[in-house]
Structure 1
Amino acid sequence: MNVHVAGKPLLGDDKEFLMTERDFDEIADLALKHTGIVLGRHKANMVYGRIARRLRQLKYSTFADYLEYLREHFSEESTNFINLITTNLTSFYREPHHFDFLNETVIPELKRKTDKKIRIWSSGCSIGQEAYTIAFTMAEAHLAASYDLKILATDLDSNVVQTGSEGIYPADNLMSVPDEVVEKYFERSRDGNQVRVKKSMRDLVHFKRLNLLESWPMKGKFDVIFCRNVVIYFNRDTQKTLFNRYADYLPTGGYLIIGHSESLNGLTDRFKSVGNTVYQKVY
């Protein structure tokens, strides 16, 4: 175990653990290499807060101790490290204009498909609330029962993928969900503190762990891809690569929906803007 502290202290004078600039830079390098996420020094407090939880579990006293352990046991520890670094902010019906666009523009087009096959991908799905909102929207438009509908939900963090597949959430997560949707598609626990998405909706969503920087095993194309508030953590070169890969997985005319703070400007010319952070593939 490290006993020598190397590098200028970055955080630690008023905190439980010491994190030096060298520690942070090594964490940032590992995050970039294995997740594509760019961590600037302004994220030091966020990184500290997340990895400090792991230091307590392992009973280490400095970030240098943890990094030494990580170097020596990376194959075993990498999943924990990645889960700590990734961000998982989500909610039901987040950015509701996207679901309005689904209802008003996309769903009428999907209903005209002759093969009745609908495929939607929630990329960077976090704990699954986006994917389930898509499922509710499709069900309300009568596309769940009468069409071959499948929703793929993927995330880098194995913990949130597991949470999503279980479909169990605190009851206060339903604040943004219409009452009629709650009534149709959720079951409440006996004490009322938790809810679970009903099996009919869980069966529509297939959760898988996926690192967007690695190969994608999916064979067919998707009618719609949601990739909201994911690429903001990547550098521009990675963003260009990802958006062009998404285009490869959409038919001409298919839709890519991104986050409120994101844009395709200057990154790819394979899409045209058709709404507020909604893009349609042109080639």
Structure 2
Amino acid sequence: MAARMHDDDSCGAAAVASGWSLGDKDFAFLSDFVYKHCGIVLGEHKRQLVQGRLVRRLRALRLDGFDEYVNLLRSDPDAELGELASAISTNVTSFFREMHHYDLLANELLPNWIEKKKRSSDRLRIWSAGCSTGEEPYALAMVLAEALERTGSKVDARILATDLSPQALGAARAGTYSLERMGGISEERRNRWFLKGEGTYEGLACVHPRLRELVTIQPLNLLHEWPMRGPFDAIFCRNVVIYFDKPTKQRLFERYAGLLEQGGYLFLGHSESMYGLSDSFDLVGRTVYRKCK
């Protein structure tokens, strides 16, 4: 999940208004639960934030306190995990964020991959791990579709987009965006890859059916088992691992290496680094890593 946690005054106000307090025992359980299932470390300084965010969830579930919520997590953790992750996280994403990654794909990687796949009849696969509300995989799909059009290729090419948050996945599947969220897209691409919303979607832009054909959206917890076997030519995992501790990052990078083609690429966010965490990759660009063994 491409997400971040930040302080929110409204969260604290909501918690105070509710009269509920997140005690030591329940916070300790939630911290352990979130770390185990999401890889996110919740320090004591995040208690007020967590308390305020979860008050909304307690109300939605008609629960009378944090102890009842903890009991719900104990009895059926998988059923509530996605909602918990959504509640404590703020999705941060945009179209063509960190444009140099897309330039590398369009100008160098995709032309080479497509030519290679044409000769070998192999599949071309890209994974957006932590796709949030869909801006990243649809931006990747635009670049991929344009590369395929330029070559006239019939290569079997697809993008897998995964996230833990049910709300984020719902938005990604809808593929409809306000005009304010289209700032990173050129006018040419807006006209080519988006349709003007009508009726219920008045005032919104809807992604072109061709992009939907290229993108498969699925729920996935990066810390749990992965059903896909790869191999992938590239994995985008941007603004995700910054909130993990060192052991979690190390395990995740090795799992990514196991799913990448030899010489495949891993893209991280602008504030993330693999330095001292993995021997399986070489740094080849700004937060761009290539599998070396």
Q: What displacement does 1:15 show?
A: 4.8
Q: What displacement does 1:153 show?
A: 0.5
Q: Distance in 2 between matches of 1:273 and 1:75?
A: 36
Deviation sequence 1:131-158 (CA, Å, 0-9, x none): 0000011122235962211000011123
Q: What displacement does 1:73 show?
A: 4.8
Residue number in structure 1 paired with 2:39: 36
Residue number in structure 2 paired with 1:260: 270
Is residue 31–residue 85 contact of structure 1 (8 Å, CA) maintained in 2? no
Q: Distance in 2 between matches of 1:74 and 1:142?
A: 42
Which structure carries more helix by proportion? 2
Residue number in structure 1 paired with 2:246: 236
Change beyond 3 A, Cα 1:143–1:43 = farther
Q: Distance in 2 between matches of 1:204 and 1:164?
A: 13
Q: What displacement does 1:80 show?
A: 2.5
Equivalent residues in 2 for 1:55-70 (5 A)? 55-70=58-73
Q: How many aligned positions are there?
A: 273
Is residue 18–residue 61 contact of structure 1 (8 Å, CA) maintained in 2? no
Q: What displacement does 1:41 show?
A: 2.2
**Any idea what SS the aligned residue of 1:66 has?**
helix
Deviation sequence 1:208-235 (CA, Å, 0-9, x none): 1111112211123011110111111221
Residue number in structure 1 paired with 2:183: 175
Residue number in structure 2 paired with 1:220: 230
Q: Distance in 2 between matches of 1:263 and 1:75?
A: 30
Is residue 125–residue 154 contact of structure 1 (8 Å, CA) maintained in 2? yes
Gaps (5+ residues) in structure 1? Answer: 1-10
Q: Distance in 1 between matches of 2:161 and 2:113?
A: 20
Q: What displacement does 1:108 show?
A: 2.9
Q: What displacement does 1:246 show?
A: 0.5
Change beyond 3 A, Cα 1:239–1:189 = same
Residue number in structure 2 paired with 1:273: 283
Matched, 1:122 2:138: no
Q: Distance in 1 between matches of 2:128 and 2:255?
A: 15
Q: Distance in 1 between matches of 2:149 and 2:229?
A: 23
Higher alpha-carbon deviation: 44-53 or 205-214: 44-53
Q: Distance in 1 between matches of 2:111 and 2:80?
A: 47
Deviation sequence 1:95-146 (CA, Å, 0-9, x none): 1111112123212321331235311000011111100000011122235962
Is residue 159–residue 216 contact of structure 2 (8 Å, CA) maintained in 1? yes
Q: Distance in 2 between matches of 1:43 and 1:107?
A: 42
Change beyond 3 A, Cα 1:69–1:212 = closer
Change beyond 3 A, Cα 1:240–1:143 = farther
Is residue 126–residue 159 contact of structure 2 (8 Å, CA) maintained in 1? yes
2:143 to 137, 140, 158: 137
User: Greater relative contact order (Cα 8 A, min sep 6): structure 1 or 2?
Assistant: 2
Give TM-score scaled by structure 2 length: 0.85
Q: What displacement does 1:68 show?
A: 3.5
**Any idea what SS the aligned residue of 2:263 has?**
coil
Matched, 1:18 2:11: no
Change beyond 3 A, Cα 1:269–1:23 = same
Matched, 1:51 2:70: no
Q: What displacement does 1:44 show?
A: 2.7
Higher alpha-carbon deviation: 267-276 or 98-107: 98-107
2:109 to 101, 106, 110: 106
Q: What displacement does 1:159 show?
A: 2.7
Q: Distance in 2 between matches of 1:74 and 1:263?
A: 31
**Any idea what SS the aligned residue of 2:262 has?**
coil
Gaps (5+ residues) in structure 2? Answer: 1-11
Q: Distance in 2 between matches of 1:57 and 1:224?
A: 39
Q: Distance in 2 between matches of 1:168 and 1:279?
A: 32
Q: Distance in 2 between matches of 1:102 and 1:253?
A: 14
Q: Distance in 2 between matches of 1:75 and 1:279?
A: 33
Is residue 280–residue 292 contact of structure 2 (8 Å, CA) maintained in 1? yes
Q: What displacement does 1:170 show?
A: 2.1
Give TM-score scaled by structure 1 length: 0.88
Q: Once superposed, what is the RMSD of the aligned Cα atoms?
A: 2.2
Give the share of equivalent positions with the same residue, in percent: 42
